[in-house]
Structure 1
Amino acid sequence: MRVHFIAIGGSAMHNLAIALHKKGFIVTGSDDVLFEPSASRLKKYDILPAQEGWDPEKITNDLDAVILGMHARADNPELLKAQELGLKIYSYPDYIYEQSKDKLRVVIGGSHGKTTITSMILHVLQQAGKKFDYLVGAQLEGFETMVGLSHDAPVMVIEGDEYLASPIDRRPKFHIYKANIGVISGIAWDHINVFPTFENYIDQFRIFADTIEPNGKLIYCQADGVLNKMVGSLTNGAEKLPYNLPDYSISNGVTSVNVNGKSYALQVFGEHNLLNMQAARLVCEALDINPDEFYTHISSFKGAARRLEVIGSNNNSTIFKDFAHSPSKLTATIDAVKKQFPDRKLIACIELHTFSSLNKDFLNEYAGTLDKADEAIVFIDRKTFEQKKMEPYPAETVKNAFANNNLLFFNNPSDLLYHLQQLDINNANLLMMSSGNFGGIDLLLLKNNLL
């Protein structure tokens, strides 16, 4: 099979390209700009484009498929050539379905927790010696790539997000996979640029539930009121399996779950992660892994990259990096750290980076989200406004939106770095939250200075 990737450098795209290459496909690709680590990883497998830019000459009749990334535009010259030749054009979720249509598909959806739930399932399946294919949105310990494809695995576990499939396919990705086992972790409004109202956003999860195959299962978080109400209104035939918080305890900074008289110490913490774990348990039970086996294996799960990832620690301080950027993720992450370390001061820094988080019409959704932090910091790199062609707003707008007059606001990475370097984090935790990179601040250097 010969496949060509338009916008091969994307996170999911380059991982899919590597997975197909390892499966024996002949893979080519193009992109107008290639960042790390994509470039180095593509080069390792000898599928890095010789030069950046688009080249319609690469699009020929002997291609079996063209895979189109979201980063490409609808007027991309390679796409136009592929359309002119009548070639099969897939979004990457389309092609993931194509590769998994004869397998049992587990699809994890939800506004938050998708990557962690998927990672937990993969960890347990791997520890249990099961064969599986997968797509996950983070680099995991023990997994070379974020996509794994094989000829013989009976199951594929897919992280299914609700963002759009491609420039010419405006369906949310998780509508495409046709799950046999579907998971919804929760519903909290996001992607305001695509789903302008909360009701419209909720509808995407209702449609996802309706795409579950006949005799399938829907696993959902009963603790989420919006989700619970939506599931109650469904009329499809999927078996509905709710989950809630397990019995747990915290001692000396370690969380343990208590099940059938046995206690299992975990390496992750926070009620959001305990809920994620219960979703993963129900999936694994559906894949013939009993609860004791599940809890034994999950005890060694260290978490996904950038999900409460420890950058550094000593006896009385820890610096965390977390992917939290939406209001619900921000609230859950701060709550988790405060409950795990109740005697430590919490300094929480959030970078607003995505289109939704920067949108003034959405900003008020953050009201109260930083209230549990002892020191609250909001950072918006002024360059982000320029890149997204958005009008900047002052500190007062941010303070009013967060309903927190005590928060500190920075829009210059140098000013933020200077402030962070002056912090006294003795008996304190520093929580750095962003889907970006804090304007290029080196968190490892910061850790070395503070600890």
Structure 2
Amino acid sequence: MNVFKYLTGSMDNWVHIIGIAGVTTSGVAAMFRQLGWKVTGSDKGFYPPVSTFLAEQEIEVMPGFKPERLTVDGRHPDLVVFQGTKGSSNKEYTEALRLGLTVKTYPAVLQEYVINPARSIVVAGTYGKTTTTAAVAAILSHAGNNPGWMFGGLSTDGTLPVMQGGKQSYSVVEGDEYLISTDDRRSKFLLYSPVYLVLTAMQWDHPDLFPTKESYLDAFTGLISQVPAEGLIVANAADIHIVEAVKNAACRVVFYAADHTTAHAKPDWILMRGSKPLPSFVRDTDSPEIIPYERKLIGEFNEENLLAAGALAYELGIRKERIQEAISKFSGIRRRLEVRFENEHTVIIDDFGSSPPKARGALHAVRTDYPDAYIAAVFEPNTGNRVAASLSEYKDAFADADAVYFPRFTRLPKSDTIHMDESELAEA
């Protein structure tokens, strides 16, 4: 059972993070730093924007992995946080075990120190979860709830990606379906005890972990089964897999849809883009509500994310004025349809869409906002989408682009799995 532990500390407390250069692990590091702990970390390489973020947080980082780092003047870390995909043969990890230190994966740290199991909100889905999670956190914060949160990205306004909230407050975390560690291949989100669950999309991803679509969907079915009868699921009605999956939910289900004509279930919340003077979130139930809003984010896709966040917040009892105010100020997440450069002829947009479903959604969002533009996409897939099993998912992934370029792919460590390079993917 997950029991929320309220963190306190001082520089007498020391946490060392193995694999600190990840977006979430760097966020965990910043949380401990904000709470007054001594924080050190190691990784094989440090690159912007995470390296810049760690420097801004004044966190000591060290390249490579050396077991002697875990002993300084006869003292050892009080806690070692292990980025689970680094491999159980990591030299610092094995040294921590040899010394008998407390070692936890970062999902276990979130489970113990960020998630309030009595008021846990989890946002899960193939895509859209990072921005939606950050938007929920922004709304709850603006409403004075003092939530805890974790979203897997760096914000554009400097908000830390991981924070511990108040003892009686909501927690909202991004629920990642990928594995906890190489030794624990369960989905991370199964540790997060949702009372309130937002489901943004369920489109087969990570074929290296989920070899079939059914195995991928089964992970979400397991998550849905965790939501108690008194809980709530806010579900995207435009995704047929979500609509089917929540039929057996024990709790109340509220559906939302950016376009009601493509919904597979009657949406309780819809997006009215053409309403005047502002677009609106509309609650289409026996107790209707209209929430006009302004947004800083580009893309139809982000409007859908904001709709999900606004619907959840309203169902939790947040006043619509607070929702409106928070969304109008919310500037989003770096590398999530982030405009990096713009002049009268060219717009450069950076997005973390490293799988076919994510690329498809991002490109459709860009096409919606720039219907007449020539769109050239530069795409490098994540590791799991460089295997042959993922090829079927590339169908129409780039339909909204006029040209697609594959750069030289990042070299991968040797393994028994055969991965495609950029030429092989282009020819496929």
Under a length normalisation based on structure 1, what TM-score does the superposition of the two structures give?
0.77
Correspondent of 2:242 among 224, 227, 233:
227
Are 2:149 and 2:164, in contact at CA under 8 Å, matched by a contact in 1? yes
Q: Which runs of 5+ in 1 are unaligned?
A: 402-451
Q: Give the structure 1 partner of residue 386 of structure 2.
A: 358
How far apart are 1:171 and its partner, in Å?
1.6
Are 2:43 and 2:62, in contact at CA under 8 Å, matched by a contact in 1? no
Alpha carbons of structure 1 residues 318 and 250: separation in structure 2 relative to 1, 3 Å: farther
Q: Give the structure 2 partner of residue 16 of structure 1.
A: 28
Q: Give the structure 1 partner of residue 254 of structure 2.
A: 241
Correspondent of 1:334 among 352, 363, 373:
363
Alpha carbons of structure 1 residues 45 and 278: separation in structure 2 relative to 1, 3 Å: closer
How far apart are 1:87 and its partner, in Å?
3.3
1:204-235: CA deviations, max 9, x gaps?
Answer: 10111122345222221111001111111x2x
Q: Determine the C-alpha separation between the residues in 2 that align with 1:37 and 1:273.
A: 22
User: Which aligned pairs between 1:272-421 and structure 2 lie closer than 5 A?
Assistant: 272-315=301-344, 317-342=346-371, 344-373=372-401, 375-384=402-411, 390-392=419-421, 394=423, 398=426, 401=428
Q: Give the structure 1 partner of residue 293 of structure 2.
A: 264
Q: Give the structure 1 partner of residue 286 of structure 2.
A: none
Q: Determine the C-alpha separation between the residues in 2 that align with 1:29 and 1:386.
A: 22
2:176 matched to 1:148? no
Q: Determine the C-alpha separation between the residues in 2 that align with 1:394 and 1:47.
A: 40
How far apart are 1:269 and its partner, in Å?
4.4
Alpha carbons of structure 1 residues 113 and 143: separation in structure 2 relative to 1, 3 Å: same
Question: Relative to structure 2, which stretch is displaced further, 158-167 or 261-270?
Answer: 261-270
Q: Give the structure 2 partner of residue 90 of structure 1.
A: 104
Alpha carbons of structure 1 residues 10 and 394: separation in structure 2 relative to 1, 3 Å: closer
How far apart are 1:37 and its partner, in Å?
4.2
Q: How many residues align?
A: 393
Correspondent of 1:166 among 181, 196, 205:
181
Q: Determine the C-alpha separation between the residues in 2 that align with 1:131 and 1:11.
A: 23
1:404-429: CA deviations, max 9, x gaps?
Answer: xxxxxxxxxxxxxxxxxxxxxxxxxx
Are 2:44 and 2:65, in contact at CA under 8 Å, matched by a contact in 1? yes
1:262-299: CA deviations, max 9, x gaps?
Answer: 74343334443232122101321244312343134313
Question: Relative to structure 2, which stretch is displaced further, 61-70 or 237-246?
Answer: 61-70
Alpha carbons of structure 1 residues 340 and 354: separation in structure 2 relative to 1, 3 Å: same
Alpha carbons of structure 1 residues 173 and 314: separation in structure 2 relative to 1, 3 Å: same
CA RMSD of aligned residues (A): 3.0
Aligned-partner residue type, residue 291 of structure 1? K
Q: Determine the C-alpha separation between the residues in 1 that align with 2:144 and 2:253.
A: 28
Partner SS for 2:86: coil
Q: Determine the C-alpha separation between the residues in 2 that align with 1:338 and 1:42.
A: 35
Q: Give the structure 1 partner of residue 266 of structure 2.
A: none
Q: Determine the C-alpha separation between the residues in 2 that align with 1:179 and 1:124.
A: 19
Are 2:299 and 2:366, in contact at CA under 8 Å, matched by a contact in 1? yes
Alpha carbons of structure 1 residues 53 and 202: separation in structure 2 relative to 1, 3 Å: same
Q: Give the structure 2 partner of residue 100 of structure 1.
A: 114
User: Which aligned pairs between 1:118-157 and structure 2 lie closer than 5 A?
Assistant: 118-150=133-165, 152=167, 154-157=169-172
How far apart are 1:41 and its partner, in Å?
4.1
Q: Determine the C-alpha separation between the residues in 2 that align with 1:100 and 1:262.
A: 30
Partner SS for 1:361: helix
Are 1:255 and 1:268, in contact at CA under 8 Å, matched by a contact in 2? no
Seq. identity, %: 27
Q: Give the structure 2 partner of residue 6 of structure 1.
A: 18
Under a length normalisation based on structure 2, what TM-score does the superposition of the two structures give?
0.81
1:340-360: CA deviations, max 9, x gaps?
Answer: 333x23323131331233223
